[in-house]
Chain A
Amino acid sequence: MTSTTEAITGGRLMVELLEEAGVEIVFGYPGGAILPFYDELYHSKKIKHILVRHEQGAIHMAEGYARSTGKLGVCIATSGPGATNLITGLTDAKMDSVPILAITGQVATDAIGTDAFQEADIFGITIPITKYNALIKKADDLARHFEEAIKIAMGGRPGPVLLDFPKDVQLGKTTVRKASSLKIAPHHYERPKVKGDPQEFAEALNVAKRPLLYVGGGAINSFASAEIKALAEKANAPVTTTLMGLGAFPGTHPLSVGMLGMHGTAYANKAVLECDYILNLGARFDDRVAKYQDFAPNAVRAHVDIDAAEFNKRINVDHILHGDLKDAIREILPFVKGGDRSEWISNIQSLKKNHPLDFDNSGETIKPQDFLQKVYTKTKGEAIVSTDVGQHQMWAAQYYLFDKPNTWLTSGGLGTMGYGLPAAIGAKFGNPDKTVICVTGDGSFQMCIQELATIAQSKLGVKILLFNNNFLGMVRQWQELFYEERFSESQWTYNPNFVKLAEAYDIPAMRIEKKSEIQKGVEFFLKDSGSALIEVMIPAEEKVFPMIPAGKSQQDLIEFKDLGKLKK
């Protein structure tokens, strides 16, 4: 360990270590047990602190920031209730592999374990939902833990880490500023060397007649978009992405077949059934995509992943490459030959033609799909889009075509309602020059609605597209289709006046109800760089199609045109 002569407080050291790590922005909420740190943060010229209205907002903002910039997201909370308010976000970040550093205050070390005021065993609570966590008991240990935590959060398969700092540790003096005693296996923080045989891997692809690339969120984390495009074009193979992988391959590319899975396109799901080779690039055979062992029943299966624990976890595969996706594809590429796959490509084209994404746009009501398409056109597909969870999330995934990585922010694994608004705020702080749109529903929006204040306070140009059907739409859809229309507790018999509410936070807002108002609505909503809310009233009975019913597989896909059959 190296030391300097000048002793500084733990709190001061925490700020300096954050600065040294290149952290420019943190999202947080002060409180008694974290005050020594906040007092030091007061003097920092390099770190901008965003004061949120609820700690759940802070961590989702950090997630939105991290996912849209590829940098570490940092959030701060005090002990006890402050810290426990981070739980949902930590779980969310663990599920979606988002690099987050959560800093929490803790009661003084001599009070730990006494049920002191605002004490919670946040270390114990967050063990299963963090990639790594630690309670720092001495100011001398602080530097070591910081270094470990940041490396672990960013390295390997990224994830959230939590460091818990007792108040006396923040106040205590230390001269230990650096630590070299990192006793952590390298794969947790380094890019592991690619293990497996890239040549054999490529040859399985070369002999395939109907190959399909299946791209997941790992492609975004490893910044592998260019390599994936090169691979797809060289192999002449169509590409489908998971919900998390949207944007990793251009949605407008001729080889794109869009998203697969429960609400993926019919043609992607049909391509999965027909392909003879499926190459999973950084996805995890999630149960919303690959329900059963008979997933891609006629295909040789291959899998590239940075996390060895994902191999053969749910679906058995024939070929494995373990390592960073970008590196792995670079190693595969030289062995890939471009075969004549015109028959397969034209087959895909006819699937696209015969089974398009579809909805009935004949009436006078506004269809969310139609509205989203108009938003896509108006923004030229260049916005960063965050969503909450539900029907609006799936419509956005289907009808806003993502061409670039890090532009689609959604809670994929955990399905966290309340994620969208704070994630959009975090993304806007990270990308001040881009249009950031939060697509939300009347249910989700009310889960973190207090963060409207954070937008107002920072005069942030976040656009909110609120689809209102006075229902929990996805719950209603399931109840209609699978619970004989018993709409148990899914209807909002009270919703606030969202327009007035937004205006109360100085956010310009407008409600539209008729198709004839769409153009006016889109113009209003995107007219300048400032914040705006557009409330779009949509029919409660509008559903998300296609759909694979829960527990069923690709063969059981229901398309919009099958709705009549389903109801009988």
Chain B
Amino acid sequence: MKHTLSILVNNHPGVMSHVSGLFTRRGYNIDSIAVGVTDDPEVSSMTIVLNGDDFVVGQVKNQLLKLPDVLRVQDMAYASSVQRELVLVSFSITEKNRSEALTICNGFDVKILEMTEDSLLIEFSGNSRQVTNIITVLKPFGIREISRTGQIAIAYRNQNVV
């Protein structure tokens, strides 16, 4: 089962290595990791998505909390949090299927960043499933390049999040 961990860490060099090293050392696989600084320049927020049962995730949480640079770990329950990732996709188009491509983009609330004779560069954000979906839909056109951020998450304020 997929779990999303939202982690606050001190923002200084090596913290990322500490956290990712912990996963490596204990043989846990990270599905995605996204990091950015918070409103406090000394604190960064990390969102890590991993696959594992409750035992594995419990172990990961406990081990994370042992790192002095880790300030807080939250396991984001899907229903009580907003989860988003951003994807940039460049894909091929032809004169024939251009309008079909534009229709799809409109339907999915996709932002078009660049259009050339034979390609489209788009931006899309949504939850993981939606991002995977848009990639699947665009695949038949011929994907040239994809850049995906990994997931970020935040809890709804009025929910009890563990």
Contacts and interface: CB of A to CB of B under 8 A. Distances in A.
Interface stretch (B63-71, B84-92, B144-152): B63-71
Given A127-B21, A128-B21, A135 B62 contact: no
Given A183-B71, A309-B59, A309-B65, A123 B21 contact: no
B18 interface: yes
B45 to A, nearest CB: 14
21 contacts: A124-B17, A127-B14, A127-B17, A128-B22, A128-B25, A134-B14, A135-B13, A135-B14, A152-B68, A183-B10, A183-B71, A185-B71, A187-B65, A308-B62, A309-B59, A309-B62, A309-B65, A309-B66, A311-B62, A312-B55, A312-B58
Residue in A148, A308, A309, A311 whose Cβ sees the most chain B Cβ within 10 Å = A309
Main SS class of interface, A? mixed
Interface of B: 10, 13-14, 17-18, 21-22, 25, 42-43, 55, 58-59, 62-63, 65-66, 68-71
B17 A148 contact: no
Size category of the binding interface on chain A:
20 to 34
Nearest to A182: B68
Contacts of A132: 68-69
B68 A313 contact: no
Contacts of B63: 309
A127 B68 contact: no
A135 B70 CA distance: 18
Nearest to B63: A309
B14 A131 contact: no
A307 interface: yes
Contacts of A128: 21-22, 25
Interface of A: 123-124, 127-128, 131-135, 148, 152, 183-185, 187-188, 307-309, 311-313
A185 B68 contact: yes
A155 to B, nearest CB: 10
B36 to A, nearest CB: 18
Residue in A148, A152, A183 whose Cβ sees the most chain B Cβ within 10 Å = A183
A309 B59 CA distance: 6
Given A127-B18, A183-B71, A309-B66, 5 more contacts: A131-B66, A185-B68, A185-B70, A309-B63, A313-B59
A184 B68 contact: yes
Nearest to B24: A128
A312 B59 CA distance: 9
A127 B18 CA distance: 6
Residue in B14, B43, B66, B70 whose Cβ sees the most chain A Cβ within 10 Å = B66
Contacts of A308: 62, 65
B26 to A, nearest CB: 10
Contacts of A188: 68
B64 to A, nearest CB: 9
A128 B71 CA distance: 18
A306 B32 CA distance: 31
Contacts of A183: 10, 42-43, 71
Nearest to A187: B65
A127 B14 CA distance: 8
A149 to B, nearest CB: 9
Contacts of A309: 59, 62-63, 65-66
Contact of B65 (A133, A148, A185): A185
A112 to B, nearest CB: 11
Residue in B21, B22, B43, B69 whose Cβ sees the most chain A Cβ within 10 Å = B69
Contacts of A148: 68
Nearest to A132: B68
Nearest to B12: A134
B65 A123 contact: no
A312 B62 CA distance: 11
Nearest to A185: B71
Nearest to B25: A128
Given A185-B65, A308-B65, A309-B66, A124 B25 contact: no
Contacts of B55: 312
A311 B63 CA distance: 11
Contacts of A135: 13-14
A131 B13 contact: no
A443 to B, nearest CB: 29
Contacts of A123: 14
Nearest to A309: B62
Nearest to B66: A309
A307 B62 CA distance: 9
Nearest to A181: B42
Contacts of B17: 124, 127
A127 B20 CA distance: 11
A185 B62 CA distance: 13
A311 B55 CA distance: 11
A187 B63 CA distance: 13
A152 B18 CA distance: 16
Contacts of A152: 68
Given A124-B17, A127-B18, A313-B59, A307 B66 contact: yes
Contacts of B62: 308-309, 311
A450 to B, nearest CB: 32
A150 to B, nearest CB: 12
B27 to A, nearest CB: 13
A133 B65 CA distance: 16
A152 B14 CA distance: 17
B137 to A, nearest CB: 42
A187 B59 CA distance: 17
B93 to A, nearest CB: 44
A392 B79 CA distance: 58
A21 B91 CA distance: 62
